[in-house]
Amino acid sequence: MISILYAHPYDKSFNHAILDVVKNRLDGQGKEYRVFDLYADGFNPAIEASSLRLYSHGETADPLVTKYLDALLASDEFIMIFPIWWATMPAIVDGFFDKVMLSGKAYRYSDTGELIPNLIDIKRTVIFSTSQNATEKFAPFFKDYFNDMVLKAVGMKNLEWYNCPQTAHGPAENREEFLRLVSEKV
């Protein structure tokens, strides 16, 4: 199964157009997928005290966390779609990793304190992002830090990151070309 994390609050956004292309392509391929629409689901990215007390035991008080984690545990591919805001992913995506990657389930600690993937085994991880600035500006964060320190640490392997720069202020051809790329890469 494929899990798709979608994080944009506006259903007429270019990010939503990317989601539509991904879903249409997967439907055409007959692949099973599940969409985590963080904004539409009302996902709260903040960790509440009730969940924090349970976190180190691999449990949560948030039913959305359980829903998302169960889907990830059954997935072998993970696709994320979001805009780059303030040079990084939206806070709701960061909060997804804070809350859903439960200790003892998504990861565990080694004797030296390093994170080790535990139950998640994602064979292919794809990020489709949008930005105003050039893609190269964000490469150190996504290709190095986020990939090495977060994704790999929870069992999400083989990152492919594709970014559409100048999304809002660039030419329409830029967005059209990116949607063709998305269709090819799904």
CA atoms within 13 A on the CB side of 106: 25
pLDDT in tens, 81-125: 999 999 999 999 999 999 999 999 999 989 998 888 988 899 999
The CATH homologous superfamily of the domain defined by 2-185: Flavodoxin domain (3.40.50.360)
What is the rounded distance in angstroms from the CA atom of residue 168 to the CA atom of residue 141?
A: 22
When pLDDT is cut at 50, 70 and 90, the band that residue 170 belongs to is confident
Every domain of the chain and the residues it spans = 2-185
Residue 88 CA neighbour count, 13 Å, CB half: 11
Using DSSP, state whether 59 is helix, strand or coil.
coil
Residue 143 has pLDDT above 90, yes or no: yes
- Chain centroid offset of residue 167 CA: 19
d(CA 17, CA 146): 25
Cβ-contact 33, 2 below 8 angstroms: yes
